[in-house]
Amino acid sequence: DSGVTQTPKHLITATGQRVTLRCSPRSGDLSVYWYQQSLDQGLQFLIQYYNGEERAKGNILERFSAQQFPDLHSELNLSSLELGDSALYFCASSVAPAGGDTKTQYFGPGTRLLVL
């Protein structure tokens, strides 16, 4: 158990719909990262938040957005869903309290999204 929690574990929805994925980082971790994993593209970095602020963007579509709340949990919003958005979405957290390894990312169990 990495200490990172993600909900829901599975999500089935239809094209055109909007969904929200939730992530709670490990206690004390300030950074949250979102990744998309598909069979053809592998694990792709989407976006990073650090202590509530966006810090880095990767291959994130304009239909997707994220935010990190004051309690450090994060949500990834996916809208106008397309069939190709079906994938595993992982959240990871890093930046342990002072003295820890700030570079190690700990991954949650993921949310499997199926768009029909």
Partner 1 sequence: TQLLEQSPQFLSIQEGENLTVYCNSSSVFSSLQWYRQEPGEGPVLLVTVVTGGEVKKLKRLTFQFGDARKDSSLHITAAQPGDTGLYLCAGAPGSGGSNYKLTFGKGTLLTVNP
Give me the residues that bind partner 1 (CB under 8 A), please. Answer: 2, 4, 30-31, 33, 35, 41-45, 48, 50-51, 55-56, 58, 90, 92, 94-95, 102-110
Judged by beta carbon, residue 14 or residue 39, the one nearer partner 1 is: 39
- Assess contact for 73 and 22: CB atoms under 8 A: yes
Q: Shortest Cβ distance from residue 63 to partner 1 (Å)?
A: 21
What single letter denotes the amino acid at residue 36? Q
Closer to partner 1 by Cβ: residue 6 or 115: 6
Q: Provide the β-strand partners of residue 32.
A: 49, 93
CB of 27 to partner 1, least distance (A): 17
Write down the least CB distance from residue 43 to partner 1, Å.
4
Report how far Cα 39 is from the mean position of its chain's Cα atoms.
17
> Is the dihedral angle over the CA atoms 80, 111, 10, 85 positive or is it negative?
positive
Tokens of 72: 């450090």
Nearer to partner 1, 108 or 115 (CB): 108
Bridge partners (DSSP) of residue 34 are: 47, 91
Do 34 and 66 form a contact (C-beta atoms < 8 A)? yes
Question: Shortest distance, CB of residue 71 to partner 1, whole angstroms?
Answer: 18
If the CB atoms of residues 16 and 84 are measured against partner 1, the closer one turns out to be 84
Amino acid at 98: A
